[in-house]
Amino acid sequence: MSKIKILHMYADMLDLYGDSGNMEVISYRCKMRGIECCIDKYSVDSEMPDFSSYDLIYIGGGADLEQQHISDDLQKCKDGIESARKNGSFLFLICGGYQLMGKYYRDADGNDIPGLGLFDYYTAAEPNRRKRCIGNIVIRTEFTGKTVDIVGFENHGGQTKDVKTPLGSVLYGHGNCTKSSHEGYFEKNVIATYMHGPCLSKNPEISDYIIEYCVNRNSDTPVKLGKLDDDLELKCRDIMKERLLNK
């Protein structure tokens, strides 16, 4: 039986709009295929884990205050997370977690929360607190050569710039900045997005891209995941797409 090991970081602080649900979706989709899925939690002052031993490191979203609360602790994890990414662990990051892997997050008052600087992008909030990117969002992306439209919900003041390889192009909503053409950040073993929802519940292709990567990352004989019945999930997504794109 294959097995994947997940580290869910700061689940008690960074969990907006049901972001923890993403781990339930991954865990369910593994179970349906007979893949063992072990999820460990890490939070402020937990014992320092061996980050590279995890196939997937997951961080959800949180408001400025929560980002400040975890900031010092996150810096202690910098070397571990950086090495894990280099060693091929997958990073899945939502909103506040996405912002903190870049150079910095500057809040509406101009205070900086340092990021881990794993990527070149940086984020600054709109000085006017009322100007936030809030609402449903649809983006178009590609996983292993297949075009996929993803739906989610965004709520951020942060404007993320200098994103070299975005996750997708925006069909509806804002994305990395107000009325941006692009959303998120994407590398082979990194998906970062502003999409809450939780993001994976209506977008099974993202879950399966991550699971397939994790299952195969240390294997000489890569396997393809078996199909699941995603009828309901895809119907939900189609309804949202229809509502948002054809109005």
**What is the smallest separation between the CB atom of 115 and ligand GLN, expressed in angstroms?**
12
Choices 35-43, 48-56, 69-77, 152-160 (CB under 6 A): range interacting with ligand GLN: 152-160
**What is the smallest separation between the CB atom of 158 and ligand GLN, expressed in angstroms?**
3
**What is the smallest separation between the CB atom of 156 and ligand GLN, expressed in angstroms?**
3
Catalytic residues: 95, 196
Beta bridge partners of 9: 42, 59
Take residue 7 and report the two structure tokens written for it.
Answer: 């580290």
Between 56 and 195, name the residue whose CB sits nearer to ligand GLN: 195
Tell me which of 80, 115, 157, 168 binds ligand GLN, using CB under 6 A.
157
Q: Give the sheet arrangement for strand 182-183, strand by strand.
A: 146-156, 133-143, 168-172, 182-183
Residue spans of beta strands (DSSP E) within 50-189: 56-59, 90-94, 104-106, 112-114, 122-125, 133-143, 146-156, 158-161, 168-172, 182-183, 185-187
**Footprint (CB under 6 A) of ligand GLN, residues 85-144:** 95-96, 125
**What is the smallest separation between the CB atom of 85 and ligand GLN, expressed in angstroms?**
21
**Residue 197, interface with ligand GLN (CB under 6 A)?**
no
**Residue 63, interface with ligand GLN (CB under 6 A)?**
yes
DSSP H helical segments within the chain, as ranges?
21-31, 64-76, 78-86, 96-100, 204-216, 231-245
**Residue 11, interface with ligand GLN (CB under 6 A)?**
no
Strand 168-172 with 133-143, pairing: antiparallel
Interface ranges with ligand GLN (CB under 6 A): 16, 61-64, 67, 95-96, 125, 155-158
